Amino acid sequence: GENVEQHPSTLSVQEGDSAVIKCTYSDSASNYFPWYKQELGKRPQLIIDIRSNVGEKKDQRIAVTLNKTAKHFSLHITETQPEDSAVYFCAASTADNTGKLIFGQGTTLQVKP
Amino acid sequence: EAGVTQFPSHSVIEKGQTVTLRCDPISGHDNLYWYRRVMGKEIKFLLHFVKESKQDESGMPNNRFLAERTGGTYSTLKVQPAELEDSGVYFCASSQDREIHGYTFGSGTRLTVV
């Protein structure tokens, strides 16, 4: 079945360093890849997304890259700040394009001041 | 515009009891999705409504789970009888159309079955 693998499960970085989270997906028909940030006790919030016709997208300190051939996509956070600490989820759309998303297992990012 | 609203925010019930979760989507959104996150694991799809119809319920764990969306507005998810493994956070999300884009989640209902 459709599957999204996410690594690492936990990531600890020093404030100001960069953080990279990687995901792979199984369904070559997936064409939409959002990233969600979930702070403790709060709802998952969309932070950035990318569609399959684009290789890279950037929004201030956050960027996402997509390699369709390898079925990989990654989240890059530069100049990390303590408020970036949260659980990050990647997701991929399904081939039927109904809006259903398949999520990765989540990465707990800790940014140490 | 009000966001997606869910209640209760927390529910603690005993094994064998019944619980009903409610989701109010953003007004005018035809698509409504239920997801669940069991502690430490991924957010898993449960089902998808288009208006009042179930478009996809392939993620529903078993027949102890019943979802409804009467009138195509709010939705309920009933668990009867609840089991320990049903514990987790249940999220609802809604979107206006079928074009794929990131949707807004509700704050979730944390269900604990003891």
Segment B77-94, tens digit of pLDDT: 999 999 999 999 999 999
Chains A–B, number of C-beta pairs less than 8 Å apart = 59
Tell me, yes or no, if A89 comes closer than 8 A to chain B by beta carbon: yes
pLDDT digits (tens, 9 = 90+) for A75-112: 999 999 999 999 999 999 988 878 899 999 999 999 99
Tell me, yes or no, if A103 comes closer than 8 A to chain B by beta carbon: yes
Q: Are A94 and A102 in contact (CB under 8 A)?
A: yes
Nearest CA in chain B to A4: B42
Q: Cβ contacts (< 8 Å) between B60 and chain A: which residues?
A: none
Q: How far apart are CA B104 and CA B102, in angstroms?
A: 7
Q: How far apart are CA A42 and CA B67, in angstroms?
A: 24
Q: How far is CA A26 from the centre of its chain?
A: 15
CA atoms within 13 A on the CB side of A76: 13
DSSP 8-state assignment for residue B72: G
Q: Specify the 3-state DSSP secondary structure of B86.
A: helix
Tell me, yes or no, if A53 comes closer than 8 A to chain B by beta carbon: no
The helix (run of H) or strand (run of E) holding residue B88 is strand B88-95
pLDDT tens track, chain B, 114 positions: 579 999 999 999 999 999 999 999 999 899 999 999 998 788 999 999 999 999 999 999 999 999 999 888 999 999 999 999 999 999 999 988 766 677 889 999 999 999
Nearest residue to B20 (alpha-carbon basis) of B34, B40, B3? B34
Residues from B in contact with A at Cβ < 8 Å: 31, 33, 35, 40-45, 48, 55-56, 91, 95, 98, 100-108
**b or e along B71-92 (b: 16 or more beta carbons within 10 Å of the residue's beta carbon)?**
eeebbebebeebeeebbbbbbb
Tell me, yes or no, if A110 comes closer than 8 A to chain B by beta carbon: no
